[in-house]
Amino acid sequence: MSESKKLFIKTYGCQMNVYDSERMAEALGGQGYVETQSADDADMILLNTCHIREKAAEKVYSELGRFKGLKAEKPDLKIGVAGCVAQAEGEEIMRRQPLVDLVVGPQSYHRLPEMEAKTRTGAKALDTDFPEEDKFEKLKNRPKAKRGPTAFLTVQEGCDKFCAFCVVPYTRGAEVSRPADRIIREAQDLVDRGVREITLLGQNVNAYHGAGPNGDITLASLIWELNKVDGLERIRFTTSHPNDMADDLIEAHGTCDKLMPYLHLPVQSGSDRILKRMNRSHTAESYLRLIERIRAARPDIVMSGDFIVGFPEETEEDFQATMDLVEQVKYGYAYSFKYSTRPGTPAAERAQVDPDAADDRLQRLQALITRHQREIQDSMVGRTVRVLFEKTGRLEGQMVGKSEYLHSVHVKARGIEVGDLREVRITDSGANSLAGELLSFGD
């Protein structure tokens, strides 16, 4: 048997890239590649890139520059760029960095095996098309190896919303949903290999409308189908858009036992003027009413969100409206970013906010979010949660897992295995995680 080749993948950006990297590794597994954790002993290096904020492309070029020495030592080493920078920059990457052999956009990963074979002949391979064929179907050969208790599963890709700041509709293309039967098959396969929690992924996951047995089905219907999969214990989904939060999905949060009480629902700003300029087509008020309805369905749900501060033309008053909204919602988690100009998007042409003012706003927002985050985490002390254990901790005999609310929980006890789901009483709240004691011995 020929010796296997080694593949090193470096992943930047969102969870969808993490999922895509796994699938690329599987696709190249068919070409005899096994993954390595070090670029130094790789036969192929793939950078799976993100283009959501500025300087991403520059970071990729400087990372590529670092591989010059390696390539000189190992002329057979193949270097590829995948992901949204590959989609946005295309051929420019090979022009600026001749050591790159392969450039592949997110919709063409199923073509990687042919592309890799092409590079072995000494030719360069470039594919940034948006082909009609179903890349997921062609990528379906996940190896049957056992895996950890949690997994991502992409159900929807692309976006038609065109928020004024965002590159996703350009780099990931139009919204496409995968057929339900294929998702359920993939989920079953993951469960057979040890997975107990699946996070459904999509740039606008709640806009999911994949084909079901009798026409298109909603994300809530898909979740109900997955709820029937034996051995699957937990379902999550991300990222959702407020306008696609349908009634059946809100209701599922109250009635579907495997759907976890955590929801990532980005709002971006609390100012209606800015939301309009962002082309978000919701208001702060409609978002707050939506959260009321979600909390009525599932009172203990922990909310999470995304914010952009310093969006063009944002005034101190607009920013205060964001602070007010955060104060009302009280997020358990939130991701806040300073606006980053993306060439080609409408907001790039508008009057930019002074960078020092934007920095100052970001700090104030993050301080408020951190305070709420800590209050919500501290409120878990004394409560009983169910923890899915994912790995061993740093201390002797310690195991770490996640509660249904996505808090990290550390437990010191004998007899817990990775993949166990146990009841834990929370005894302490630290900087970024909780500690607790085991209440149940079986699951």
Look at residue 53 and give the partner it binds from ligand SAM, ligand SF4, none, a contact being a CB closer than 5 to 8 Å depending on partner kind.
ligand SAM
The residues, any chain, with a CB within 8 Å of residue 62's CB and separated by 6 or more, are none
The CA-based angle 424-373-364, given to 5 degrees, is 165
Q: Which stretch binds ligand SF4 (CB under 6 A): 41-49, 154-162, 215-223, 245-253?
A: 154-162
Site size toward ligand SAM (CB under 6 A) is 18
Residue 361 binds to ligand SAM (criterion: CB under 6 A): no
Choice between 168 and 438, CB closer to ligand SAM: 168
Strands 384-392 and 421-429, how do they pair? antiparallel
Number of residues that bind ligand SF4 (CB under 6 A): 10
Q: Is 203 in the site for ligand SAM (CB under 6 A)?
A: yes
Site for ligand SAM in 103-122 (CB under 6 A): none
Which of ligand SAM, ligand SF4, none does residue 342 bind to, with CB < 5 to 8 Å depending on kind? Answer: ligand SAM
CA-CA distance, 85 to 50, in Å (whole number)? 6
Dig out the tokens for 266 from the structure.
């980005």
Q: Is the separation of the CB atoms in 22 and 48 below 8 Å?
A: no
Judged by CB under 6 A, the residue of 168, 187, 191, 326 near ligand SAM is 168
Q: Which is nearer to ligand SF4, 32 or 169 (CB)?
A: 169
CA-nearest of 64, 104, 62, 113 to 86 is 104
Binding residues among 159-188 for ligand SF4 as defined by CB under 6 A: 159, 161-163, 166, 168-169
Q: Does 219 bind ligand SF4 (CB under 6 A)?
A: no
- Give the sign of the dihedral formed by CA 343, CA 346, CA 352, CA 358: negative
Closest distance to ligand SAM from the beta carbon of 84 (Å): 9
The span of 81-89, 179-187, 335-343, 374-382 binding ligand SAM (CB under 6 A) equals 335-343
Question: Which residue stretch of 59-67, 155-163, 386-394, 431-439 sits at the interface with ligand SF4 (rule: CB under 6 A)?
Answer: 155-163
Question: Least distance (Å) from ligand SF4 to the CB of residue 241?
Answer: 5
- Report the 10 Å Cβ neighbour count for 355: 11
Q: CA torsion sign, 101 to 106 to 108 to 113?
A: positive
**According to the binding rule CB under 6 A, does residue 352 interact with ligand SAM?**
no
The per-residue b/e assignment along 269-292, b for 16 or more CB within 10 angstroms, e otherwise, is bbbbebbebbebebbbeebeebbe
**Options 218-226, 334-342, 355-363, 382-390: segment touching ligand SAM (CB under 6 A):** 334-342
Alpha helices (H) in 90-198, listed in sequence order: 92-96, 112-120, 135-138, 168-171, 180-192
Give exposure, 185-213, as e/b (b: 16+ Cβ within 10 Å): ebbbebbeeebbbbbbbbbbbbbbbbeee
Residues lying near ligand SF4 in the complex (CB under 6 A) are found at 159, 161-163, 166, 168-169, 203-204, 241
Residues lying near ligand SAM in the complex (CB under 6 A) are found at 14, 52-53, 165-166, 168, 203-204, 239, 241, 266, 268, 306, 308, 337, 339-340, 342
